[in-house]
Structure 1
Amino acid sequence: MKSVIRHVGLSALSLAVLAGCGATTVSSEQAQTTNQSTNQTTQVALSAPPQVDQALTLNQIMANPDWMGLFAQGAYWSDDGQSIYFARQAHGAPTKTYYQQSIDGTAASELALNQLHSADQRRGVLNNDKTRKAYIYQGNLFVKDLNSGKVSQLTRQNTAVDGVRFLNNGDISYWQGDNIFKIHQGSGLVEEIASIKMAAEPKGVQAPSTYIAKQQHRLIQYVAMQQDNAKAKQDYKAELTKADPTMSAKTWYLGDKEVVTNLSLSPDGRYVILALKDKSYSWRGEHDIMPNYLGKDGYVDAVPARARVAEDKNPGERLVLLDLDTHAKKDITIEGLTGFDEDVLAAVKTENAKAKGESYDSEKAPRKLQLMQDWGWSQSAIQWSESGDNVAVMLEAVDNKDRWIATVNFEKASLTTQHRLHDDAWVNYNFNQYGWLPNSDSLYYLSEETGFSHLYLKEQGEKAKALTQGKFVVSDITLGPKAQFIYYKANKTHPGMDNVYRVEIATGKDEQLTQWQGQLDYTLSPDGTALLLNASTRIQPAELFVQAIGGELKQLTNYTSDAFNNYAWQAPEVVAVPSTHGAGEVYARVYLPQGYDKNNADKYPAVIFNHGAGYLQNAHYGFSGYFREFMFHNLLAQQGYVVMDMDYRGSKGYGRDWRTAVYRQMGTPEVEDLKDGVNWMAANVNVDAGKVGTYGGSYGGFLTFMALFNEPELFQAGAALRPVTDWAHYNAPYTSNILNTPDVDPIAYERSSPIEHAEGLQKPLLIMSGVLDDNVFFQDSVRLVQRLIELEKPMFETAIYPVEPHGFRQPSSWLDEYRRIHELFEQELKK
């Protein structure tokens, strides 16, 4: 589940460090490295874990994570590229502290509160000659002269500014709510260039229409005079608005049935594209609340809850084009989209109808569409060319089977398909970055059409050209400041190792810029000469580095605590488990027991951890976002367990086919992979296959259920944390991707929901949920518990956490949770 499983504290994207600072580096002897282009695999040689002088304790592992260090968050370049900015925040603290640090390696300096408004901002827009930068800070608009460094505040209001852009003539435009303004650079005049009202247009002065009204106007002179005066004033105001240059633009009335969900102004200030949605639609559930039993006033608080996929009826969006010069409004038609009316779910509907003894007749009909939703790719789905002569929109079907990049014909208000990405399963919510090359009609974009996310270049009317290709994943693209190169991140050398590359647009020449053996994120400097890296290895968390293009890597921060750095952590081995179910190889992390001896006559017990989110990568060479679990697995290894952490099918980082293997059958291929994992451990690391347990949270909790319910001999015990028990009760944006919707595809929901398979439980099960979980509702666990009671299953226990949301926050809750998991494994796996 995207955004579902991240534990509070260190995020997976900010956990990083350099190998030269005490990290365990990955050598060819230690690591199993796959050459993706040749599909050749080097056999892994498992090394013995390090000896430790002091045993880990659950109290230490589950303590406030600040003991590991307060790491840099949200790092970005200064405007001049000579320093970086970042924040640090103590666990549970309400505010952040902000810092600036020179790239020459000097210590970071803390920024005072009265300095924050003038500090360089991460997000902003540049004028055409890149001499000025406009940005929003605390809801107000600022502009910075990049030559002098002078910062000027342009607004000081309680109504927040929502967006800003420079116009081609140098003026600044910004919008607040549905109103668009322009600041004239010469005079400083603030002009409202578009006032958009989501209301019916006022009727104005109306002539009498009924008999009685007409009679009143005919017989009563005073009434007739009032009517004539009102009409004259109305006509005068209309003429004045046209003739008087000091008047603001005429108001747009777009009806009272919809709301504006997206607004984009062209660089020349002439056109506005709006996305509108039925105002009756809400993400909130119509029928439910989430009860908070520990309300501050001593009563039960009714907390609003999101809608379930079974009741979420997304109406889609429609696009409207406003011409501010002519005051013409045009509805943008969708007929220009290839496949806009295809019945893409015909096969699914036919199968479900047949199961009910019915038939299904396929018919073409316009599909519901919307702008491609932003799942963290930090760009608008509406992209204007530099001049404003062209605009592209990225649209997705609400049924999740198509993504289009289309250009808009301003005269006809029609769409022309430039690229269609169709997927019989679902289009990925990642890998949707795109844009225009400057001074051209060429688009660059990411697409998974070959089975892996790659970078393409397409001139309008021409065939697209692939700039990258191979069995690896390209992400995080950045157009260089001179538009000579496109920079990107990819896992070319191994699915669990990231590096930064760039491709020369004119020649297609590809160049690797970093030599990292772990995971990283990058930001290109404003002048394109250096990279800011947030990079990690398996046993060291987040630090920042800078590397000049073609230069040496230099560490900037060192916030990992001595207590953490000085401990002899076991770096998990990353292995490839051969699949007996047609999956090829399944990557996994393996932790070996203290004093491991493969030839030991006594076989080891084992635990398999199931990562959350489904679509998430954890068997990599970076520091895990599951940092508590990383430490817990070290503890288990010290106590004689082998621990495996698999990137089962559905996980991120391995391409489209791996991702969509779970389509309409969640919990089936993943459990097959877990079975291969158990067999691999029995064959390779002396594990007793009859003494293996499993656990995980959210999607990992769901997977624990599916394994225990459907393969009761596979694991001897399982713990499910914050688990999904019935997919019909989860949210629509995530679930409808994989299982369609319950009204269309009940087969997929019944096949994939643990509550439908609960009769298979035969081994001890621990269910743990937070009462304030607004992601996977506490009700999920309540319903399953009642189902197990009615099935007369005696081998389960529950634990509830009254103050916890999906990602637990209180160290005491973490400790209680993992004490119970540890006790379960000790009791059931060491008999």
Structure 2
Amino acid sequence: MNKKYFLYILAFLSLQATYAQTSDLTVEKIMQDPTWMGTFPSNVQWGPNSEYIYFSYNPEKNPADSLYRVSRKTPTQLEKVSWQDEQKLIPQQGDFNRARNKKVYTREGVLYLYDLRKEKEEKLLELSESLSSPQFLNDEDKISFILDNNAYVYNLDTGTLNKLTNIRTGSQKEQKDRELSAQDQWLQDENLQLLEEVRKRKENEDAQKAYRDMTASPEAFAFYTGDRHLRNLQVSPNAEYVTFQLITTADAKDTDVPDYTHLSGYTVNLPARSKVGSAQATMEAMVYNLEKDTVYKVETENLPGIKNLPDYVKDYPDKEWKEEVREVYPNGPWFSANGEKAIMVIRSRDNKDRWIAQLDPETGNLKSLDRQRDEAWIAGPGIGYSWSGGDIGWLPDNKTIYFQSEETGYSHLYLLNVESGKKTQLTSGDFEVFDPMLSNDGKSWYLTTSEVDAGQRHFYKMPVRGGKMQQLTSLTGNNEVALSPDEKYMAIRYSYTNKPWELYLKKTSASAEAKQVTTGQSQEFQKYDWRDPELVKFEARDGAMVPARLYKPSATANNGAAVVFVHGAGYLQNAHSWWSSYFREYMFHNLLADLGYTVLDIDYRGSAGYGRDWRTGIYRHMGGKDLGDQVDGVKYLIAEHGVNPEKVGIYGGSYGGFITLMAMFTEPDTFEAGAALRSVTDWAHYNHGYTSNILNEPVNDPIAYKRSSPIYFAEGFEGNLLIAHGMIDINVHFQDVVRLAQRLIELKKENWEMAVYPVEDHGFTQPSSWTDEYRRILKLFNETLLD
């Protein structure tokens, strides 16, 4: 036989064998309605008496989950809660008294009190409008609540109601303009004389208003909000002050997303967000001094560093930069239990500063206690965001506050004495702290950390002033703990890499055994031997060790090709030891490995779980270190796992779609094929809250936007590209890929295609759309990487 012909036959047979690799999985199977996998618990919470665990569950495969419960005494007996009983449940929201034997709350706007010892619910107050935000005051015979944007106090002993504030919307002139003219007053009076039922209703409304306003005189001070919206109204524990925020909305131009498949048969524009750099809402913090019967603004102009310019201004030497007082978002206050002290969290609008400050409610002045500055942006577990203070509060001594900070590079728990200024770090190390909470007696902390491993979460108990942490969970993976109100038991929502979430029950002890409560996997799901991907680290070009999940094919199936998956959200962790929120992609990676592909899923720079420097590694250059990590991951696959450098594909959605485009446009020698799903193509068209943190604002930092947006690099495209996008995506708008498509057309680029999904938003919901999208992805890789 001719030698050249023999080699051709061998190559042909080898190619046929490659395509002949099979799997028990199909795209249709893994992209169908997720109920095929089984039912898994969510929204786990305890009843107030620590007897029952409640959770959402759906073993009957109904259109939606139902509420189930299980007694800690008989944890194997699951019970569906009827809708009648569900309406009677004590809400999770509300406030306990100091002894934690009474709870005050609202249900459908009605004020209730629940006695845990007597297991008795008492209706306290029902008015014509909804009540909200009830709180026990220092004098626990009194409860504050909010009604119609005003603060009230209800006396449990006497049943009397006291209106504390007189806050009115609009201006005083607008209020006057609402008064009836003589003609309209005559018509109303005539109606009341003629119609008895109308007269009765008016008399009832007047009586209720008089009851609410019994302490207010016609000459009482009134505070008008003007064109501002009121938020976060609260009463201090000693009932001496009421605090609130006033929001002035911005006149920003919002975008519209056309829905071509609207039920009406017409094209309907869906309201969506504005773009980064547009005008933003402003916030003011206010104090209502009840004794002085007046309102004043919390002053933030004297905070240290309030006029600091960001470092990036040095890249624009020809632009004039003024040192001005920056806009801030004041959050809080948080009052000490006795109401004598208060703290606030102030965030600069550019999100480069967070101040924790003590508020003097008598004057509205602030004293800075702690300043955290980051030239990139402030974030991290427990740190909160612009309109949130994060995990912060007081110890029972009324002089020590707790909070989280990334001061050391990882989010840890701190104490600070507001009288002495002494700050104490309670936890330390290359790990992060999540959701710290004080024990009922105030002597201990309960908290979750990643101390065991960045890819695991465990629950701990620690002395309130710091010391040895006692690990209370032991199952490898993620342990989401709901602690019973009496702190004697833990309801644990647990999962592992290849095991979806199940519910476990365990005594609050390190040595106790965790007992499995639910078993939700379907028989069909259990038939397949789901991979436990290897957690690996490879070295990036700057020496950083990058974590990733590695899915390896069998030796006989290995075709030498590789696929790199890029998770979305940017700040998200996926190379971990628990069940992924990307469960469809996880199953798809099992299918790819069955077919002979090596799959690498990387927690690139910008991902969550690895501290401040990892999070901010993408500052001012998305598509820099994060893309470099993908390229270095491919080098790792080639060097360590025998991957053919000419057979590498990449895919991902949202931020992952953005990275895919940058990879295809700027690294054509590394990636032969890519599937970019719901991708950002030009960051100047994304939202403000996310983008301005990382790239600042386009008008101030155009350099960052131009080097971070794929649309500027489309000239470099050489390989094979699939672009897929939902047409009613109100997060990353369809406009993004339309503009990119026009660029590719103008550049006369070939070997790209676009798949559009007319009924889909950013997160697909229809199995038919998921199936079509992933069939196209698989086809792309099979046809371009295996020839």
TM-score by length of 1: 0.83
The equivalences for 1:462-481 within 5 A come to 462-481=421-440
| 1:260 matched to 2:230 | yes
Verify the 8 A CA contact 2:38 2:59 in the aligned structure 1: no
- Aligned residue in 2 for 1:558: 519
Verify the 8 A CA contact 1:586 1:646 in the aligned structure 2: yes
Q: Which amino acid aligns with 2:288?
A: L
Verify the 8 A CA contact 2:40 2:520 in the aligned structure 1: yes
TM-aligned CA distance change 1:93 to 1:203, over 3 Å: same
Q: Which has the higher contact order (CA 8 A, sep 6+)?
A: 1
- Aligned residue in 2 for 1:498: 457
CA distance in 1, matches of 2:219, 2:555: 78
- Aligned residue in 2 for 1:196: 167
Aligned match of 1:122 in 57, 73, 92? 92
CA distance in 2, matches of 1:245, 1:565: 67
- Aligned residue in 2 for 1:36: none
Q: Secondary structure at the match of 1:542?
A: strand
Moved over 6 A (4+): 90-94
Q: Secondary structure at the match of 2:159?
A: coil
TM-aligned CA distance change 1:91 to 1:824, over 3 Å: farther
- Aligned residue in 2 for 1:399: 350
| 1:453 matched to 2:411 | yes
Verify the 8 A CA contact 1:619 1:646 in the aligned structure 2: yes
- Aligned residue in 1 for 2:691: 735
Verify the 8 A CA contact 1:606 1:693 in the aligned structure 2: yes
The equivalences for 1:670-819 within 5 A come to 670-819=626-775
Q: Secondary structure at the match of 1:723?
A: coil
Q: Which amino acid aligns with 1:415?
A: L
Verify the 8 A CA contact 1:542 1:560 in the aligned structure 2: no
The equivalences for 1:145-224 within 5 A come to 145-156=115-126, 159-170=129-140, 171-201=142-172
Q: Secondary structure at the match of 2:77?
A: coil
Q: Alpha-carbon deviations, 1:177-208, whole Å to 9, x = none?
A: 41222222123333332231132235999xxx
Q: Which amino acid aligns with 1:78?
A: G
Q: Secondary structure at the match of 2:546?
A: strand
Give the Å deviation of 1:315: 4.2
CA distance in 1, matches of 2:421, 2:281: 34
Give the Å deviation of 1:77: 1.5
Give the percent of matched residue pairs that are identical in Structure 1 and Structure 2. Answer: 38
Q: Alpha-carbon deviations, 1:613-642, whole Å to 9, x = none?
A: 001000001111100001000001111101
Q: Alpha-carbon deviations, 1:322-375, whole Å to 9, x = none?
A: 0123212121111442222222x2x32231x34xxx2434x4321111135xxx
TM-aligned CA distance change 1:95 to 1:56, over 3 Å: closer
Give the Å deviation of 1:94: 6.9
Give the Å deviation of 1:117: 3.1
CA distance in 1, matches of 2:52, 2:369: 40
CA distance in 1, matches of 2:150, 2:362: 24
Verify the 8 A CA contact 1:467 1:503 in the aligned structure 2: no
Q: Secondary structure at the match of 2:596?
A: coil
CA distance in 1, matches of 2:76, 2:221: 54
Q: Which amino acid aligns with 2:230?
A: V
RMSD: 2.5
Q: Secondary structure at the match of 1:741?
A: coil
Q: Alpha-carbon deviations, 1:530-564, whole Å to 9, x = none?
A: 32221210101011112222222122222222222
TM-aligned CA distance change 1:560 to 1:471, over 3 Å: same
- Aligned residue in 1 for 2:305: 339
TM-aligned CA distance change 1:795 to 1:733, over 3 Å: same
Unaligned runs of 5+ in 1: 1-51, 206-239, 373-380
Aligned match of 1:588 in 541, 548, 559? 548
- Aligned residue in 2 for 1:605: 561
Segment of structure 1 superposing worse, 104-113 or 457-466: 104-113
CA distance in 1, matches of 2:123, 2:175: 40
| 1:101 matched to 2:70 | yes
CA distance in 2, matches of 1:204, 1:645: 60
Q: Which amino acid aligns with 2:744?
A: L
Give the Å deviation of 1:134: 1.7
TM-aligned CA distance change 1:138 to 1:642, over 3 Å: farther
Q: Secondary structure at the match of 2:739?
A: helix
Verify the 8 A CA contact 1:532 1:545 in the aligned structure 2: yes
Segment of structure 1 superposing worse, 656-665 or 90-99: 90-99
Give the Å deviation of 1:302: 1.4
- Aligned residue in 2 for 1:301: 268
Segment of structure 1 superposing worse, 764-773 or 555-564: 555-564
Q: Secondary structure at the match of 1:665?
A: coil
Verify the 8 A CA contact 2:22 2:595 in the aligned structure 1: no
| 1:525 matched to 2:484 | yes
Give the Å deviation of 1:668: 0.9
TM-score by length of 2: 0.88
| 1:368 matched to 2:327 | yes
The equivalences for 1:243-322 within 5 A come to 250=220, 252-279=222-249, 281=250, 286-311=253-278, 313-322=279-288
Give the Å deviation of 1:753: 0.9
Q: Which amino acid aligns with 1:592?
A: K
CA distance in 1, matches of 2:583, 2:443: 39
- Aligned residue in 2 for 1:435: 393
Aligned match of 1:348 in 309, 312, 316? 312
Verify the 8 A CA contact 1:175 1:181 in the aligned structure 2: yes
- Aligned residue in 1 for 2:197: none
Q: Alpha-carbon deviations, 1:548-596, whole Å to 9, x = none?
A: 22222122222222222342111111101122223x2101101111345
Verify the 8 A CA contact 1:350 1:360 in the aligned structure 2: no
CA distance in 2, matches of 1:95, 1:623: 21
CA distance in 2, matches of 1:541, 1:249: 63
Q: Which amino acid aligns with 1:265?
A: V
CA distance in 1, matches of 2:569, 2:725: 16
Q: Which amino acid aligns with 1:340?
A: I
CA distance in 1, matches of 2:732, 2:335: 39
Give the Å deviation of 1:149: 1.2
Q: Which amino acid aligns with 2:442?
A: A
TM-aligned CA distance change 1:300 to 1:156, over 3 Å: farther
Give the Å deviation of 1:175: 1.1
Q: Alpha-carbon deviations, 1:642-688, whole Å to 9, x = none?
A: 11100001100001000100000001101111111111111222211
Q: Which amino acid aligns with 2:157?
A: G
Q: Secondary structure at the match of 2:153?
A: strand
- Aligned residue in 2 for 1:46: none
TM-aligned CA distance change 1:249 to 1:536, over 3 Å: farther
Q: Which amino acid aligns with 1:165?
A: Q
Q: Which amino acid aligns with 1:129?
A: A
Verify the 8 A CA contact 1:488 1:501 in the aligned structure 2: yes
TM-aligned CA distance change 1:248 to 1:565, over 3 Å: farther
Q: Which amino acid aligns with 2:501?
A: A
Q: Which amino acid aligns with 1:329?
A: V
- Aligned residue in 1 for 2:375: 424
CA distance in 2, matches of 1:539, 1:477: 28
Q: Alpha-carbon deviations, 1:128-173, whole Å to 9, x = none?
A: 3322112233444332111111123345567443422112222222
Segment of structure 1 superposing worse, 731-740 or 544-553: 544-553
| 1:575 matched to 2:559 | no
TM-aligned CA distance change 1:700 to 1:204, over 3 Å: closer
TM-aligned CA distance change 1:406 to 1:130, over 3 Å: same
TM-aligned CA distance change 1:91 to 1:610, over 3 Å: farther
